[in-house]
Amino acid sequence: MKVRYIWFDLGYTLVYQDREKVYRDYLLAQGIDIPLARIEEAYHLADKKFMRQYPGALGQEWDSFFPWYLGMLNYSLGVRFPLAEQAAALKAGERRQGPRWRAYPFAPGVLQWLKERSYGIGLISNWDQSARTVLNETGLARYLDHVVISSEVQVSKPDERIFRLAAEIAGARPEQCLYVGDNYYDDVVGSARAGMAACLVNRFGLLGIEELPAVTRIDSVAELPRLLAHAGDSRPLIQPERRNVN
């Protein structure tokens, strides 16, 4: 069945933070120079470890997980600081950067490409009530036909009900939907249980997801038009292997 509706995750799928630059600036202030590329990889691996081993933690209040996350990040980069002091400094650095969340430069163009080709476009996100503010501030809200946020519907990914609810709101069958997100355990597993195809965003190739079964993967949403154009009506190209998602 042809894909008619594309659903997206929000954080690190459509929007991002300049957290790696803020972290590097902090290190430089301490007289430590670690290349930005290495810091970016360390953040990526920390994200993947939390997604795999501590499901749901990254979606909690900042104070409840960040010092824990930061300690892991520091360890991987071979540095050590008082965590409370460092966390406060990084938070202040993020405030100085301006808007906390920014749209990836390619995101508006991809969403416009989809809209011009009559795809339905929606968001399914585990997020608090600030999600709509983020969408408005980044200019992405105008591209979305439907927005389904966990804090508003009281159900979160990977629960298949949030995906089924989104399809029902859009008037689409799950088999007509493709979900795109960066968290295998929330996004691919949850959408597959609901009967949707899925595509995993993983910026560094297979880094951090080596243990996962075969799944359609792209480095960023910028690759989605190529994937869809190549797939045509061929469902298997973007369909995860159901037997491996649990």
Helix ranges, 103-178 (H): 107-116, 131-138, 150-153, 160-170
Question: How many Cβ atoms are within 10 Å of 218's Cβ, its own excluded?
Answer: 16
pLDDT tens profile 104-122: 999 999 999 999 999 999 9
Question: How many Cβ atoms are within 10 Å of 176's Cβ, its own excluded?
Answer: 18
Q: Give me the pLDDT at residue 82, please.
A: 96
The continuous run of DSSP H or E covering 148 comes out as strand 146-149
Gap between the Cα atoms of 161 and 226, Å rounded: 30
The continuous run of DSSP H or E covering 217 comes out as strand 217-218
- Among 184, 181, 191, 122, residue whose Cα is nearest residue 161: 191
Q: Where are the domains of the chain?
A: 5-15+102-244, 18-96
- Among 107, 78, 93, 75, residue whose Cα is nearest residue 26: 93
Q: Is the peptide bond before 174 cis (omega within 30 degrees of 0)?
A: no
CB within 8 A of 231, min separation 6: which ones? 3, 237, 238
Q: Give me the pLDDT at residue 36, please.
A: 97
Q: Give me the pLDDT at residue 180, please.
A: 98
Q: Are 100 and 17 in contact (CB under 8 A)?
A: yes
Residue 133's identity, in one-letter code, is T
Q: Give me the pLDDT at residue 1, please.
A: 67
State the distance between the two ends of the chain, measured CA to CA, in whole angstroms: 24
- How many angstroms from the chain centroid is the CA of residue 170? 21
**Has domain 5-15+102-244 been given CATH number 1.20.140.10?**
no
Q: Give me the pLDDT at residue 233, please.
A: 40
Gap between the Cα atoms of 73 and 45, Å rounded: 9
Q: Give me the pLDDT at residue 229, please.
A: 87
pLDDT tens profile 56-77: 888 777 778 899 999 999 999 9
Question: HSE (CB half, 13 Å, CA atoms) of 194?
Answer: 30
- Tokens 């979160």 sit at which residue? 156
Q: Give me the pLDDT at residue 56, please.
A: 83
Considering the entire predicted model, what is its pTM? 0.90
Q: Are 171 and 141 in contact (CB under 8 A)?
A: no
Q: What is the mean pLDDT of each run of 10 residues along the chain (246 residues)?
A: 92 96 97 98 95 85 86 96 95 86 97 96 94 96 97 96 97 96 96 96 93 91 92 47 40
- Among 8, 232, 235, 234, residue whose Cα is nearest residue 111: 8
